[in-house]
Amino acid sequence: MSEPTASGTLSTDSRHPASRTGVAALGYGAANVGNLFRPLTDEQAWAVLDAAWESGIRAYDTAPHYGLGLSERRLGAFLRTKPRDEYVLSTKAGRLLRPNPDHVDGGLDTDNDFFVPDELRRVWDFSAAGIRASLDESRERLGIERIDILYLHDPERHDLQLALDEAFPALEALRAEGQVGRIGIGSMTADALTAAVRSADLDTIMVAGRYTLLEQPAAAEVIPACAERGARIVAASVFNSGLLAQDEPQRSGRYEYGALPEELWQRLVRIADVCRAHGVPLPAAAIQYPLQSPVVEAVVVGGSRPEQLRQNAELAALEIPAELWRDLADRGLIPA
């Protein structure tokens, strides 16, 4: 991904994938500034976003789901201080935020891992009216009219067939009207991603945790479907729940919602050994691996501390020898 164009789309360098690495191919996923896993003050959240901007990051992704709208409000307040044509903004639809009748004083949304008052609740709505309402409400929270990319968020968690029948046509209509620049799906399920790409006219899909240095289930069908249909990929959750975020993997690390399976642990150890042999930090390889595919245009990373954003930008720009990828492929650790 290169700098955003005036139309708000992402232009892609068609040269060797190595030419697309670096900060220009790095985006910030703003779930953390919605108080994911731990609370941040407004000042702390601003410092994180400021570090992302100062590090050269110019793509920002959010969602109503993140902190029951807090992420959108904080991100919008920050981005309103920046020239609109200098960044790409994406958010998501599918969950509307409505008053929570079960809220009690002091109640938090920690069942969803967000440390925010649970005064609102998420309501699934894949109807055309619901998708349009979601976009309008996101614009209001962000305080920004132009949304460059609108993803349907986690449709497999609600009703994938309903998404195919109603939600994606609604997104296509919004794009045709010029209400959004690009449309897509954000999901961590390869089957849902493949079905969406093959059934709808999507521009961009966000693949969360399914195309990483550690595991590549999206390689079998999602990537070929995108290549066939002309859709681009934004890779998210590339650290696999933090397993790839440090040079020395920890056996006690968590894998998504449970313990790390032994098979994946052994694979992780072997990958880390190869990276060490080539003098490449494991997190740098994790950030840059998805960009070796020509259909991947960007990698989105999170972070709740300014130093994390600065470090990720440095790792994204680090030169990695092609021999590393060849060695990993020869050992069967990534697809050849």
Measured CA to CA in angstroms, residue 333 lies from 62, 273, 327 at distances of: 32, 11, 9
Q: How many residues does the chain have?
A: 336
CA 93 to chain centre: 14
Number of neighbours of residue 14 by Cβ within 10 angstroms: 9
- Extract the tokens encoding 30: 């703003």
Cα 198 to Cα 33: distance, rounded to the nearest angstrom: 33
Measured CA to CA in angstroms, residue 215 lies from 13, 239, 280 at distances of: 25, 11, 19
For the chain, the farthest-separated pair of C-alpha atoms sits apart, in whole angstroms, at: 57
Is 66 catalytic? The answer is yes
Residue type for position 296: V
> Which residue in 28, 60, 66, 87 is the catalytic one?
66
On whether the CB atoms of residues 208 and 185 are closer than 8 A, the answer is no
Cα 282 to Cα 270: distance, rounded to the nearest angstrom: 11
Main-chain dihedrals φ then ψ at residue 324, nearest 5 degrees: -60, -50
> Half-sphere exposure of 285 toward its Cβ, with a 13 Å CA cutoff?
29
Catalytic (active-site) positions: 66
